[in-house]
Amino acid sequence: MENVIELQHVTKSFKGFQVKDLSISVKKGFVTGFIGGNGAGKSTTIKLIMNLLKQDSGSISVFGLTHDTDERAIKERIGFVYDENIFYENLTLKDMKKIIRPAYKKWNDAMFHKYVDQFELPLGKKIKTFSKGMKMKASLAIALSHQAELIIMDEPTSGLDPVFRRELLNILHELMQDGDKTIFFSTHITTDLDRIADYIIFVNNGEHVFTKEFYKIQEDYAIVKGPLDLLDADTEREFVAVQKSNIGFEALTAYKDRVADLFGEAVVLEKPTLEDIMYYTEKGRCLNV
Amino acid sequence: MQILISNSSKEPIYEQITTQIKKQILTGDLQEGQALPSMRQLAKDLQISVITTKRAYEELEKNGFIYSIVGKGSFVSEQNTEMIKERKMKVIEEKLLEAIQNSRDMGIGLAELKEMLTLLYSEDE
Amino acid sequence: MFNLIWKDLFIQKKLILLYLAIIGLYFWLGTPLFWLAFITSISFIMNAFYYDEKDNINILLNSLPYTRKQIVTSKYIGAIIFTALFIGVIAGGSFIINGMESPFSWKGVLQTFGLVMAWISLIFPFFYKFKQQYLVIGGIIFFVIAMLSFKAVIHLLKERFGEVVQWFIGLSDLQLYSSASLVILLLYGGSWLLSMRIYERKVF
């Protein structure tokens, strides 16, 4: 299957933070959710993909091209939505459109106005009067109006109310009807992913933890609950992290079937949420350091 | 085509889809050669990811229930009639077992149940 | 790339009246035309730069299909175009008010371009290197200097550097202007290359 985004052994260091040997890929025609806690390296990775940051080492390709030689061709085909405002606060959305429109060869004005109507955005009001959600919608309207093949979004749902979050998912579903489009977005509202994400890429502390099909996660991982006497140095190795209390333990395993065989009826296995997985992975890292 | 999925069910979503489509094929609600919605359309309608519907369709294809033509979509396969009969028999058996269980729960005897069956059977004709 | 130059004009469309008012005020004060053109051009160019920095516009521009070279180049070419525009407006205004009595001479035009380009050559690489707060400070300092210094600078030059000035005056106009033009063009080109190098390495 064709990869739209490919990072190979990418490293980027800042003061007190590092993206370490990151190798990830995003498949064409699918929605990939990008998860990880604060400071996990999500925004940094997105900035690296957009060439807002330059990697210290490793290679990054988008549509099989690199920014060194084809920066404009790549960006022509990307629609982007960021977590921060990137519009002139003192201009109206209409003015912003006038500035952005000539940058793209394939701008579609009718499409833009369709989304502006759908999102109920005021064209004539200054951006600084917009709420966070409206700014995000404005970004989204622009991102969807130049026939981009790849939509990259950094925390798009964080400023949105639940009603519009659902509406956004409908828009994304609509977009995915055409099998050539690819969506890559980071989020920490993991429930959004249940309805749309085909693949999940999970990073933690600047490192890649896994890339999996969404349904595969629940086949591999499980929350295990059981009595404390089952735990010893050997059995604890089956878990990402264990949380103990007076009445028993709760743990996350990445080897659901093996744990089921090992403990049998002595434990209860439950479907983990993405939040469970993020929580235990972070906890496990802290213990191992 | 009707499909209902439950997010809280223990059964994985792709399995819920395959089970329901299989059933509709076996009961004849979905006819041989009939087109299924595209997996992207189905994903949108069910508000689930494309990869889930993709997996469901792949399973159905593997088990010979449907076939895909590139660029055209997926269709219900010709079913082996013997096999279908066998399967249908199984469905009947299951339903009857269910009825028997219910009868026992309520203390209805075999004779009474038979009577009921005869009555319903002839009524339907 | 001309989209980017047009953008710098477009974002200041509401300030155009203000610029015209300033020009009118300075006419009234009798400021030399080349100096007036210099101040208004620089204000305009720096203000556009300030707006971009203030609102994260660099992230936007770098996510649109533009290269970093184009973004920097648009500022350097734009500066020349905007200076030409202001010279045009001021020359026109002067003609309407004074007729041909004290027109915007070709020397004045060259002086304005020279000053604008020299100023930009020195200041742009710093702007690209440092952050917004420095820009504001730089802008304020520029205004204070521009307001206070014109006569003082001339006076100082006459007092302290009499000999140098004498030597300059000894040159014919043609020699003086052509050598100064050459120096400034070299400076401008060098600054442009330097800014591109700085901007290419910038992180957002």
B27: CATH: 1.10.10.10
pLDDT value of residue A7: 96
Reduce the DSSP state of residue C84 to 3 states and report it.
helix
Residue of A nearest to B47 (CA): A195
Average pLDDT over residues A230-242: 86
> In this structure, are residues A69 and A60 in contact, taking their beta carbons and an 8 Å threshold?
no
Average pLDDT over residues A4-31: 92
Are the beta carbons of C203 and A71 separated by less than 8 Å?
A: no
Amino acid letter for position C53: E
Residue A78 has pLDDT above 70, yes or no: yes
- pLDDT tens for each residue of A122-131: 999 999 999 9
Residue C167 has pLDDT above 80, yes or no: no
Give the pLDDT band of residue A30 (cuts 50, 70, 90): very high
Give the pLDDT band of residue B79 (cuts 50, 70, 90): confident
Domain total in chain B: 2
A64, A66, A72, A78 alpha-carbon torsion, rounded to 10°:
50
Are the beta carbons of A82 and C55 separated by less than 8 Å?
A: no
pLDDT value of residue B51: 92
What are the Cα distances from residue C3, in Å, to A61, A101, A102, C66, C73? Answer: 27, 9, 7, 10, 12
Are the beta carbons of A86 and C11 separated by less than 8 Å?
A: no
**pLDDT, averaged across chain A:** 90
Tell me, yes or no, if B13 comes closer than 8 A to chain A by beta carbon: yes
What are the Cα distances from residue B96, in Å, to B25, B50, B87, B89, B92? Answer: 21, 37, 14, 10, 6
Instruction: Say if residue B18 is in the same domain as residue B62.
Output: yes
Instruction: Say if residue B19 is in the same domain as residue B58.
Output: yes
Average pLDDT over residues A215-230: 89
Are the beta carbons of A179 and B44 separated by less than 8 Å?
A: no
Alpha-carbon distance B53 to nearest alpha carbon in chain A (angstroms): 10
Q: Is it the case that chain C and chain B have 3 or more CB pairs lying under 8 Å apart?
A: no
- pLDDT tens for each residue of C48-88: 988 888 888 999 999 999 999 999 999 999 999 999 999 99
Instruction: Say if residue B68 is in the same domain as residue B97.
Output: no
Give the pLDDT band of residue C133 (cuts 50, 70, 90): low
Instruction: Say if residue B92 is in the same domain as residue B70.
Output: no
**pLDDT, averaged across chain C:** 84
Q: Which chains touch A (3 or more CB pairs under 8 A)?
A: B, C
CB-nearest partner of C60 from A71, A73, A86: A86
Task: Spell out which residues of chain A touch residue C62, defining contact as CB-CB under 8 Å.
Answer: 50-52
Are the beta carbons of C64 and A103 separated by less than 8 Å?
A: yes
Cα-flanking dihedrals φ and ψ of residue B115, to 5°? Answer: -55, -50
- Alpha-carbon torsion (A173, A175, A181, A186), positive or negative: negative
pLDDT value of residue C173: 72
Alpha-carbon distance A129 to nearest alpha carbon in chain B (angstroms): 33
Chain center to CA of A220 = 20
How many helical (H) and strand (E) elements, i.e. helices and strands, does chain B have?
A: 5, 2
- pLDDT tens for each residue of C6-29: 999 999 988 989 988 988 888 888
What are the sequence ranges of the domains in chain A?
A: 3-216, 221-288
Instruction: Say if residue B64 is in the same domain as residue B95.
Output: no
Amino acid letter for position C56: N
Residue A288 has pLDDT above 60, yes or no: no
Residue B124 has pLDDT above 80, yes or no: no
Distance (Å, rounded) from C-alpha B18 to C-alpha B24? 10
Residue B94 placed within a domain: yes
What are the Cα distances from residue A139, in Å, to A112, A176, A181, B30, C121? Answer: 11, 19, 18, 43, 35
Task: Spell out which residues of chain A touch residue C64, defining contact as CB-CB under 8 Å.
Answer: 75, 100, 103-104
What lies within 8 Å, CB to CB, of C98 at 6+ separation is: none
Residue B4 placed within a domain: no
CB-nearest partner of A87 from C55, C201, C204: C55
Chains A & B: contacts with CB separation below 8 Å: 47
Task: Spell out which residues of chain C touch residue A104, defining contact as CB-CB under 8 Å.
Answer: 64-65
Give the pLDDT band of residue B125 (cuts 50, 70, 90): low
Q: Six-digit token pair at C2?
A: 């001309």
Are the beta carbons of C10 and A50 separated by less than 8 Å?
A: no
Average pLDDT over residues A160-174: 89
pLDDT value of residue A120: 93
Tell me, yes or no, if C66 comes closer than 8 A to chain A by beta carbon: yes
Q: Six-digit token pair at A73?
A: 């061709």
pLDDT value of residue A190: 82
Taking the model in full, what pTM does it have? 0.82
pLDDT value of residue C150: 64
Distance (Å, rounded) from C-alpha A154 to C-alpha C113? 44
Q: Six-digit token pair at B104?
A: 């026992």
Q: Six-digit token pair at A139?
A: 């970004």
Tell me, yes or no, if C64 comes closer than 8 A to chain A by beta carbon: yes
Which is more confidently placed, C104 or C182?
A: C182
Distance (Å, rounded) from C-alpha A37 to C-alpha A39? 6
Instruction: Say if residue B115 is in the same domain as residue B68.
Output: no
CB-nearest partner of B51 from A179, A194, A198: A198
Alpha helix (H) residue ranges in A160-249:
162-176, 191-194, 214-220, 233-236
CB-nearest partner of A103 from C51, C55, C66: C66
Are the beta carbons of C59 and A99 separated by less than 8 Å?
A: no
Give the pLDDT band of residue B121 (cuts 50, 70, 90): confident
Instruction: Say if residue B87 is in the same domain as residue B119.
Output: yes
Are the beta carbons of A52 and C62 separated by less than 8 Å?
A: yes
pLDDT value of residue C123: 86
Residue B95 structural domain:
81-124
Interface probe with B: pick from A28, A195, A269, A270, most Cβ of B within 10 Å: A195
Interface probe with A: pick from C57, C60, C69, C204, most Cβ of A within 10 Å: C60
Instruction: Report the DSSP beta bridge partners of residue A150.
Output: A78, A182
**pLDDT, averaged across chain B:** 86
Q: Six-digit token pair at A138?
A: 């404005």
C14, C18, C20, C24 alpha-carbon torsion, rounded to 10°:
170
Residue B40 placed within a domain: yes
Interface probe with A: pick from B50, B54, B55, most Cβ of A within 10 Å: B50
- Alpha-carbon torsion (A46, A49, A55, A61), positive or negative: positive
Tell me, yes or no, if A10 comes closer than 8 A to chain B by beta carbon: no
pLDDT value of residue C163: 63
Residue A238 has pLDDT above 90, yes or no: no
Distance (Å, rounded) from C-alpha A188 to C-alpha A193? 10
What are the sequence ranges of the domains in chain C?
A: 2-200
Instruction: Say if residue B57 is in the same domain as residue B36.
Output: yes
For domain A3-216, give the fold. Answer: Rossmann fold (3.40.50)
Reduce the DSSP state of residue A59 to 3 states and report it.
strand
| A17-27 vs A3-14, strand pairing mode | antiparallel
Are the beta carbons of C64 and A95 separated by less than 8 Å?
A: no
Instruction: Say if residue B88 is in the same domain as residue B38.
Output: no
CB-nearest partner of A82 from C10, C51, C59: C59
Which is more confidently placed, A232 or A96?
A: A96
pLDDT value of residue A15: 80
Residue B49 placed within a domain: yes
Q: How large a percentage of chain B has pLDDT more than 70?
A: 95
Distance (Å, rounded) from C-alpha C83 to C-alpha C76? 11
Distance (Å, rounded) from C-alpha A17 to C-alpha C181? 48
Amino acid letter for position C87: I
CA angle, B69 as apex, B68 and B72 as ends, to 5°? 110
Average pLDDT over residues A7-18: 90
Task: Note the ipTM here.
Answer: 0.89
pLDDT value of residue C53: 84
- pLDDT tens for each residue of C31-42: 888 888 998 999
- The position carrying tokens 């999996």 is A212
Q: Six-digit token pair at C20?
A: 């015209």
Residue A180 has pLDDT above 70, yes or no: yes
Give the pLDDT band of residue A289 (cuts 50, 70, 90): very low
> H/E element holding C186?
helix C173-200
Instruction: Say if residue B54 is in the same domain as residue B90.
Output: no
Residue A159 has pLDDT above 90, yes or no: no
- The position carrying tokens 């014109």 is C150
A76, A77, A79, A83 alpha-carbon torsion, rounded to 10°:
-80
DSSP A106-161: T--HHHHHHHHHHTT--TTSBGGGS-HHHHHHHHHHHHTSS--SEEEEESTTTT--
Distance (Å, rounded) from C-alpha A199 to C-alpha A143? 22
Tell me, yes or no, if C56 comes closer than 8 A to chain A by beta carbon: yes
Task: Spell out which residues of chain C touch residue A50, defining contact as CB-CB under 8 Å.
Answer: 62-63
Q: Six-digit token pair at A44?
A: 């940094």
